[in-house]
Amino acid sequence: MAFAAAAVAGASTLQIASAALSAVSAIGQIQAGRQQARAYQAQARQAELKGKQAELQYRQQGLEILRRTRQNISTVTARAAAGGLDPYSGSPQSLRNYAAATGTEEFYLSQENAQLAQITGEVNAQQYRMAASQARRQGFMNAIGTAASATMAWGTLGGAGTVGTAVT
Amino acid sequence: MLMPRYQRAGARIAAMPEVTTVGLQEAARTSATLSQNLDRLANFAFRQAEVEAQIKGAEYGALNAPTQQQLDDAIAAGEDVTKIVPGDTATVFGRAARKSALSALSTEFEIETRKAIVGLQTSYENKEIGLEQLESGMSALVAEQTDILRRISPQAATQFSASVGLVSNAAYLSAAKDAAKEARIDQEIRFRDGVNLYIRNAEAIVRAGATVGEDGTVVTVDQKIDALREQIAIAAQEIDDPEFYEAKIGELDKAIVDAKVGVVMDEALLYPEHAMKVIYGDGKFEDAEVQATFDTMNADEKRQLISQIQSAQSTKFSLESAADAKRTRERGERSNVLQAEFTAAILSDDRVTAQSVLDQLEAVDPAAYESKLEVFSTDAGVNDRDTVTTLRRLSLANKLTQRDVDNAFSVGKLDMSTYKEFMNDLESQRNQTYNKAIDWLKSNRGVPEGTLLNFNVVQQAADREVAQIKVELLEALNEDPSIDPFKFVKDKVAELEAEAGDLGNSALRQQAFKLGETLRSQMPGASAQELFDKVTSDPSFYPNPQRRQNAIDNLLPLLIQLEAQQ
């Protein structure tokens, strides 16, 4: 602190103004990093919601597939029985097997899609949170760089107290 | 019986999900930011280090720059001169050191070269070398120095050559201008001298008259003169001076006229009357060349000829007159000396010497001789008052001559003492200081100038006083010629005024005389005593009480005294 006070005491008005502006700039950079981090955090939450929404849509699609499968099997069984056919053999059974196999396939496909959507949302949210962290870090780094540059520039300016006097 | 077949709901594999990499991108950007900041700081530090290296290199180069002598020695030793220059071309420090060393070396070269150029200029200005030597010297100097420097750095050599080249070119240009100016002046002097020679030759050309060339062609004087005019015109054109042309043509014309007049004057001065007749158209000059020259003269030249002949005759007459006057003056001076010697001999009664002087005087001044012979043969007489008064007044008027005194002595109206007094007076009149003293005395006492007769009482009193003081002065001068006449007469006037009181006061005497004249306007012919009685008894005669009292107390009694002295 004593060194800084001595440096400021021997500095010109322009030097002091330059240092002050650099300090304000550094603070601004930190603030900018924080604001950017907040924006990324919001985007992370939005990505989570978006993943959840997609997951629910796929799960709803799976339930619809199950309902249609049961409906087809019931219809085949009912119509075969009504027609005097054995619903559990022959063509009716084949139709029922087809419906069960295809419906199951589609159901699992929708389940996997739902899971994929959930993971995607989590990954994206994670990316945004990571970006938020990096943005905050960048703000600090820019501020440190600005402060360091200003300090070095200040040091190279020199002054009456920093140069040697002529020896007579 | 229709049994439904299961229709696919359309579930498909979801499209490839959009996975953002913003986190990784930001991480990468963070690394980049960190890198940029570190680079910025590093660059800053490197720039500072580079500046420091440049400064230190420049200092090193300046301190270790080789001298011209070191270079010369290295060249003489056959060494590689590039090795003695500090620094290199690969590093900042080396480049700065090399640049600084080359700059110092180049500066030293330039200083030395400039000194050498100044030396050459000095030699040129001192006429020790010519313009060509100056040029070759500077060229050799610059080339030699440039060559040495080129072995180290062609770039520095080029800069050096350009810089010194400007200096040497300027020096050469200045010298060339000076040389051209001198050449121009020399040429102008030659032309002017040549023209003056033409003008001086004008008289010879005129006197020579027309001549016949080798081819038998007759060249007249006018043709020769025209040739001279052309030469003058050419010379004036060469030196580009119209005024010179006008002046020299004028001088040539005058020289020609003078020559013509001179040629004719040679004979005209011998026979001026005949010459005037010829000029006015009666006859011819005896000399054919003179006649030929006269025939070429125009009216104006003839008028000048007449004027010069008349002037020459006038000058001749003036010289003769002056010679006569000189002889007369010398004779007069000699006469005065002899007369003074005669007078001295007579006054000392040395008649043998007086006779001898008379014999000499007879040849010099017969009139004076006659006058002195009368004196010599006459015995001294008795002073006649009127004669003495007349002579004295003549003396006061500076009109007294020896003849006047001799005549008065010869008729016996002067005794020897008075004769001696007047002779001494005449002798003293040659003394300027004496004359000034007498002039002052006359003025102080109130003796009128130029009047010899009809003196009034005041003037008579002044006349007597001046005569008395003058006699005393002459006696004093006779005893001691070194006395100051001016001081003497002043002292005497002071004594006179102290002794005589109002009677010696010339101003008061003048007032008294004027009062008398005023009162006599009422009483014509009245004496001073009668005027006094009238003023005393009759106040109305002179009514102003104050003036009347002054007249009764002072002026009229003074006037009475003055009249009593008559």
- B74-92 pLDDT, tens digit each: 888 888 888 888 888 899 9
CA distances from B90 to B48, B369, B499 (A): 18, 129, 126
- Say whether B211 sits in a helix, a strand or coil: strand
Burial class (CB in 10 A: 0-12, 13-18, 19+), A57: middle
- The residue type found at A61 is Q
ipTM above 0.85? no
Mean pLDDT of B463-477: 86
Q: Which residue of chain A has the CA closest to B7?
A: A99
- pLDDT of A124 reads 95
Contact criterion met (CB < 8 Å) for B33 and A128: no
Report the range out of A25-39, B85-99, B456-470, B471-485 with the highest average pLDDT: A25-39
Residue among A65, A134, A149 minimizing CB distance to B11:
A65
Give which of A128, A129, A141 is closest to A33, Cα–Cα. A141
Distance from CA of A165 to the nearest CA of B (A): 18
Note the pTM of the prediction, 2 decimals: 0.44
- The residue type found at B82 is T
Give which of B492, B511, B495, B490 is closest to B555, Cα–Cα. B511
- pLDDT of A168 reads 39
When the pLDDT of each residue in chain B is averaged and rounded to a whole number, the result is 86
Residue B487 has pLDDT above 80, yes or no: yes
- pLDDT of A132 reads 95
pLDDT of B230-259, one tens digit each? 989 998 888 888 898 999 999 988 888 888
Give which of B231, B208, B229, B232 is closest to B220, Cα–Cα. B208
Question: Mutate which of A138, A149, A154 to disrupt the B interface (most B C-beta within 10 Å)?
Answer: A138
Strand-pair partners of B219: B211
> How many angstroms separate the CA atoms of A93 and B69, rounded?
120
Distance from CA of A2 to the nearest CA of B (A): 25
Residue among B4, B21, B33 minimizing CB distance to A75:
B4
Burial letters for B553-565: b for 16+ Cβ neighbours within 10 Å, e otherwise?
eebbbbbbbbeee
pLDDT of B284-327, one tens digit each? 888 888 888 888 888 888 888 888 888 888 888 889 889 999 99
- Say whether B449 sits in a helix, a strand or coil: coil
Q: Is B220 on the interface with A (CB under 8 A)?
A: no
- pLDDT of A55 reads 95
Q: What is the CA radius of gyration of chain B?
A: 59
Chain A CB contacts of B37 below 8 Å: 141-142, 144-145, 148
Chain A CB contacts of B25 below 8 Å: 131
B378 C-beta neighbours (distance < 10 Å), count? 14
CA distances from B548 to A79, B553, B555 (A): 198, 9, 10
Per-window interface: A 46-105 vs B, CB < 8 A? 47, 58, 61-62, 64-65, 68-69, 72, 75-76, 79-80, 82-83, 85, 91-92, 95, 98-99, 102-103
A22 C-beta neighbours (distance < 10 Å), count? 19
> How many angstroms separate the CA atoms of B468 and B565, rounded?
15
The token pair at B400 is 């007294």
Burial class (CB in 10 A: 0-12, 13-18, 19+), B23: buried
Question: Mutate which of B1, B6, B16, B34 to disrupt the A interface (most A C-beta within 10 Å)?
Answer: B6
Give which of B171, B163, B170 is closest to B103, Cα–Cα. B163
- pLDDT of A163 reads 52
B376 C-beta neighbours (distance < 10 Å), count? 18
Contact criterion met (CB < 8 Å) for B45 and A152: yes
Instruction: Give the DSSP letter of residue B523.
Output: S
Question: Mutate which of A29, A77, A93, A130 to disrupt the B interface (most B C-beta within 10 Å)?
Answer: A130
- What are the structural domain ranges in chain A? 13-157
> How many angstroms separate the CA atoms of B525 and B546, rounded?
25
Q: Is B525 on the interface with A (CB under 8 A)?
A: no
The token pair at B385 is 């008052």
Question: Which single residue is written with the structure tokens 């200003």?
Answer: A150
The tally of CA atoms less than 13 A away on the side-chain side of residue B542 is: 24
Sort residue B431 into left (φ over 0), alpha (ψ -120 to 50) or beta.
Answer: beta
Q: Is B19 on the interface with A (CB under 8 A)?
A: yes
Residue among B19, B25, B33 minimizing CB distance to A123:
B19
Q: Residue B368 in contact with residue B361, Cβ under 8 Å?
A: yes
- pLDDT of B376 reads 83
* pLDDT above 70 as % of chain B: 99
- Say whether B212 sits in a helix, a strand or coil: strand
Chain A CB contacts of B17 below 8 Å: 116-117, 119-120
pLDDT of B35-57, one tens digit each? 898 898 899 889 989 999 999 99
Mean pLDDT of B178-197: 88
Running along chain A, 168 residues long, what does each successive block of 10 average in pLDDT? Answer: 65 86 94 95 95 95 95 94 91 94 95 95 95 94 92 80 48
Q: Let me know the angle formed at the C-alpha of B476 by B474 and B480, rounded to the nearest 5 degrees.
A: 115
Give CA B366 to chain center in angstroms. 52
Per-window interface: A 119-148 vs B, CB < 8 A? 119-120, 123-124, 126-135, 137-138, 141-142, 144-145, 148
Per-window interface: A 20-39 vs B, CB < 8 A? none
The token pair at A144 is 């440190």
- pLDDT of A166 reads 42
- pLDDT of A160 reads 67
Q: Any idea which of A24-38, B127-141, B332-346 has the lowest mean pLDDT? A: B332-346
Q: Any idea which of B28-32, B62-66, B335-339, B375-379 has the lowest mean pLDDT? A: B375-379
Burial letters for A100-120: b for 16+ Cβ neighbours within 10 Å, e otherwise?
eebbeebbebbbebbebbbeb
- pLDDT of B346 reads 82
Burial class (CB in 10 A: 0-12, 13-18, 19+), B183: exposed
Q: Higher confidence at residue A27 or residue B462?
A: A27
Q: Which residue of chain A has the CA closest to B51?
A: A156
Residue B506 has pLDDT above 80, yes or no: yes
